[in-house]
Amino acid sequence: MKNRLGVIIIIILLISCYSKPIALLNGLDNNESEFVSEQNTPDLPQHFSVTLVAAGDNLYHDSLINNGLINGVYNYIPIYAEIKSIVENADIAFINQETVMAGANYGYSGYPAFNSPQALGRDIAAIGFDIINLANNHAMDMGAAGLYATLDFLNTIEGITVIGARRSGESARIVTRNNISFGFLSYTYGLNGIALPRDNPNLVSMIDRNKMAQEISALRPLCDFLIVSMHWGPEYVLEPARSQVDLALFLAEQNVDLIIGHHPHVLQKVDTINLPDGRKTVCYYSLGNFVSHQNERERIIGGMAKVTFTKEGMLLPTGELVVKNLNISEFGMIPVITHFDRRYRNTRIIPFSVYTQQLMDEHALRYEGSGLSMDFFNGVIKRLQTKIY
């Protein structure tokens, strides 16, 4: 996506098929004649790619919390079983964790002040989600202490990166996969009126253009791609609001590559913002609900963003990689249905590509006269204006 003006040089990690240049780098090749021939080795083209998936609001109402209670033990794996392979096949998997997981002593609760069992965090990590976003309007539902307890808990899970909330330090996080580095930042429009603690006003990252511009410009030179998670926009509105469109343009102008939007609880379109200088930013305005027990038909269809990033360059005989091109080579959406039966039990997230009329006929919303139909789902998907997987 970015045809970098400057040359970014990265020392390539040990790659067996290019062992000779690396051997030279390490000074292990003592053969004089071979050294000369290595000097004449042409530059080797390099191509790396990484796939990211991103899921929207993981929103646990009381009845959904209880869906995970199986023989007295909380287990949320079955809810995610049918999308597990999608998550596993991605190199990076993002989720907006809309509820805190402060622990049993806070009491488990759904709307309006949510607190989910910590088993949920354990299980979404086990499914394969490794970027967990906490910058959303429910982050302070159990107060600052509840958020600290959530951070402490998530900190015990190996292999995950929490964004959007932190005890202290910088908000930016950098994750590297397959020689491509990704900078993550995350912001929320608000905290349902709950104030951040005076002694830690940066506990949750709030949308603030000055601060965002500063944080983005500090992070930009440190990563190949910069991704911003945005918890924004009015709820239940099917088109992005002016405020979202304006902020997306602002982020594009700050040189952000990808915007992952959520909070409206409904799917909104995917857009490519083209700047006059040729740069592009891909924006998912809203991924909708990933899972919830909201019972409006627009709120049971969500989407997983799927984005492929590529990095091309030349490996010099010295072992240095000269980056020629960074690009989002492909992107689209995997629509998913939150399926639950008329008793609000047996909740499962099911890719729309395998959702059947028979399943739909068993959905709670069919019994509630919500006008659920395949035509309705297809209409929602068409509105996304993007590639559908």
Residues forming contacts to Zn ion in the complex (CB under 5 A) are 136-137, 263
Instruction: Kindly state the smallest distance separating residue 235's Cβ from Zn ion, in Å.
Output: 8
Q: Using an 8 Å Cβ cutoff, are 368 and 388 in contact?
A: no
* Residue 55 Cβ vs Zn ion, minimum distance, rounded to whole Å: 14
Chain CA centroid to CA 178, Å: 18
337 by DSSP, 3-state: which? strand
CB of 86 to Zn ion, least distance (A): 23
Q: How far is the CB of 8 from Zn ion (least distance, A)?
A: 36
SS3 234: coil
> Which of 57, 257 has the CB closer to Zn ion?
57
Those residues with Cβ within 8 angstroms of residue 87's Cβ, 6 or more apart along the chain or in another chain? 53, 80, 93, 127, 128, 129
Classified as helix, coil or strand, 229 is strand
Start-to-end CA span in the chain (Å)? 22
Report, in Å, the least distance between residue 191 CB and Zn ion. Answer: 10
Distances (CA, A) of 237 to 22, 231, 232, 299, 348: 54, 14, 11, 11, 25
Backbone phi and psi for residue 25, each to the nearest 5 degrees, phi listed first: -55, -40
Nearer to Zn ion, 68 or 164 (CB): 164
Pick 116 or 136: Cβ nearer Zn ion: 136
C-beta closer to Zn ion: residue 98 or 130: 98
**Is 288 or 335 the residue whose CB approaches Zn ion more closely?**
288
Q: Work out how close the CB of 257 gets to Zn ion at its nearest, in angstroms, rounded to a whole number.
A: 24
- H helical segments located in 44-117: 62-67, 77-80, 84-89
The residue number with the shortest CB distance to Zn ion is: 263
Q: Which of 116, 137 has the CB closer to Zn ion?
A: 137
Radius of gyration of the chain (CA): 23
Instruction: Say which DSSP state 42 is in.
Output: P
With contact defined as beta carbons under 8 Å apart, do 181 and 174 qualify?
yes
**Three-point CA angle 53, 123, 265, nearest 5°:** 55
> Of all helices (H) and strands (E), which one includes residue 348?
strand 348-351
Give the nearer residue to Zn ion in terms of CB position, either 208 or 361: 208
Cβ closer to Zn ion: 136 or 205? 136
CB 136 to Zn ion: min, Å: 5
Nearest to 311 by CA among 178, 140, 173: 178
Question: Nearest distance from residue 231's CB to Zn ion, in Å?
Answer: 6
